Amino acid sequence: MEKKIILEDGRQYTGYSFGADKDALLEIVFNTSMAGYQEIMSDPSYTDQAVVMTYPLIGNYGMADDDYETDNPTIGAFIVREYNDEPSNFRCAETLDSVMKRYGIPGVYGVDTRKLTRSIRDKGSRKVLITDVSTSLEEGLKIIKENSLPHDAVSRVSSKNIYESETKNARFHVVAIDCGMKKNIVRSLNKKDCRVTVVPWDTDAETIKALKPDGVFISNGPGDPEDVPETIRTVRDLIGKYPIFGICLGHQIISLAYGAKTYKLKFGHRGGNHPVKNVKTGKIEITSQNHSYAVDTESLENTPLSVTHINLLDGTVEGVECMRDHVFSVQYHPESAPGPQDSAYLFDKFIDIMRGEREHA
């Protein structure tokens, strides 16, 4: 079945349907990862986004039960060059197509993804309509113009209740604020002997204090960080009281809590091969990234935060810290999934800070 992709600037592409056969108005972005489409498909940070995969073959190793980053994938859509519906992998439990059908996620294949990616790179991320091939350009542009993308993504993907993730011989207790958290973050903390209590995005500081954590973690998630003032307020109230570690959206929330500003990037950073420099050590890390927003460098000057990492592709802020308050954060994903493991040491840094706080208590 043929499908059409209409961009808000009037460009259109025709391909074939896989996954759920439905129309969708989304934001179009691209991801340069060469593997890990299951983790990308199930990452809550892609809520309301149509992801163009630059790697040309998707679906070839199927879907494995252990590789989901959430139980209920909310990605807007997948757009790929070639889709393979006959995967070959001993871990494969079902096809990407069947999973996308189950969760109502549309897909389009047979598209010139190189041309489409260049369009996003040159013109920026923008609204896109995935629709039936019979939809005229005029009809599609009218739908795009008259409808806005939602701004409540975090509230839709965050956990609704407080829950625990136990581990044997737990040495530390971490409260994780779930703004759309990937499972591998919890797994990474559990592997470091942390018992994790996950709380919803809008949990207040008093509730978190009552849980008596050794440290607080702020997760990744979708959308504009300024759309979650409740989380920003909670973090502001917790600063100086516990060690705090933030990843991706959590990094932006921490920066906003200190009075810095954020802005939207032209087309964001998404992939598993982004070079980041640690300005303290000079070491270059190859990182996994997925975000549309960045922290404004100049706005950090009037805060106690210092820049710890920078992106070598465009010079954007990739990490900040306040040593006085035992707070630090990074824009990228040290838990990866998919991606390299260069940045896994950041979890050890969090553990060391919590250990130090306990020893001096």
d(CA 47, CA 55): 21
Q: Nearest 5 degrees, angle CA 331-CA 337-CA 339?
A: 70
- Taking alpha carbons only, the member of 209, 200, 220, 358 closest to residue 289 is 220
Q: Longest C-alpha distance within the chain, in Å? A: 68
**Under DSSP, is residue 168 helix (H, G, I), strand (E, B) or coil?**
coil
Decide if 220 contacts 333 (C-beta within 8 A): yes
* 93, two tokens: 């439990």
Give yes or no for a cis peptide into 73 (omega within 30° of 0): no
Q: Nearest 5 degrees, angle CA 351-CA 352-CA 357?
A: 100
d(CA 297, CA 107): 37
DSSP label at residue 220: -
CB-side neighbour CA atoms (13 Å) of 171: 12
Burial group, residue 16, by CB count within 10 angstroms (0-12, 13-18, 19+): middle
Residue 92 a catalytic site member: no
Residue 248 a catalytic site member: yes
Catalytic residue among 27, 318, 321, 335: 335
Residue 335 a catalytic site member: yes
- Taking alpha carbons only, the member of 37, 45, 39 closest to residue 18 is 37
* 21, two tokens: 């056969």
d(CA 125, CA 123): 7
d(CA 32, CA 35): 9
Catalytic residue among 39, 248, 309, 326: 248
The residues assigned a catalytic role are 248, 333, 335
